[in-house]
Amino acid sequence: MSELQQLVPYELEIDLFEGKPWISVVAFTMERIRPKNLPSFPPISDFHEINIRTYVKSKNKTGVYFLSIEGGKKLSCKVAKGISELPYRFSKIKRTDKKYQSRNAEFNDRLDIEFTLGNEFKKKTELDKWLTERYALFQDTSNSVNEFEIHHLEWPIHEIDIQKLELSYQRFQKLIGKKPSKAHYSKGVKVIAWGKNKKEKTSYNTV
């Protein structure tokens, strides 16, 4: 808990499920991402992404906080970072129906997963909902914590059978371990983000 707290802005409280913090590695593909009132442009708006997130609270609002966020196209990372101020960085990412692979030369980060899909969940547990139904994003810059409102339909989630998993993020290795406690797959939903309310930082812990 103390190691995780050092990576999260002082202004945010780590959210707990039954007394324990959670960290998720989320690998997916963005499609038709665009600012309001502008059309999408596939060479920029469609790209693979990996984020490592934890779950936080600000007063009574719950959301997510990114410990790491990677995009599979250099230009997409630059544009997304410029618009949102989220800390995107480029990684080489490949995806097929049964594989998802990434490499980041700067940090020597690596993800290599092979999987097959199972049935859709008929009934979600409270933990399933706690992990996936988040409607705010908090992220810090050098002098502020930005808060985004998020809207989406409830995520449909499927069982996933992981045949191979190589996960190496040295900065977070003590936090994420080698084997997931829970694994989900979703076919995706449409997501809308807006707001970016800025709150001035009062303190920030670093490692």
Domain ranges of the chain: 2-200
Task: Report domain 2-200's class.
Answer: mainly beta
pLDDT at 60: 85
C-alpha Rg value of the chain to the nearest Å = 17
pLDDT at 27: 96
Q: What is the dihedral of CA 94, 48, 26, 116, to 10 degrees?
A: -50
pLDDT at 173: 86
Are the CB atoms for 113 and 164 separated by under 8 Å?
yes
Please tell me whether residue 129 adopts helix, strand or coil conformation.
helix
Q: How far apart are CA 87 and CA 22, in angstroms?
A: 21
pLDDT at 203: 52
Q: How far apart are CA 68 and CA 47, in angstroms?
A: 16
Report residues of the chain scoring pLDDT below 70: 203-207
Residue 36, Cβ density class (10 Å: 0-12 exposed, 13-18 middle, ≥19 buried): exposed
From the list 95, 77, 97, the residue with the least C-alpha distance to 87 is 77
Q: What is the pLDDT of residues 99-157, one digit of tens each?
A: 999 999 999 999 999 999 999 998 999 999 999 999 999 999 888 999 999 998 899 99
Are the CB atoms for 11 and 202 separated by under 8 Å?
yes
**Residue 151: CB partners within 8 Å, gap ≥ 6?**
135, 191, 192, 193
Please tell me whether residue 204 adopts helix, strand or coil conformation.
coil
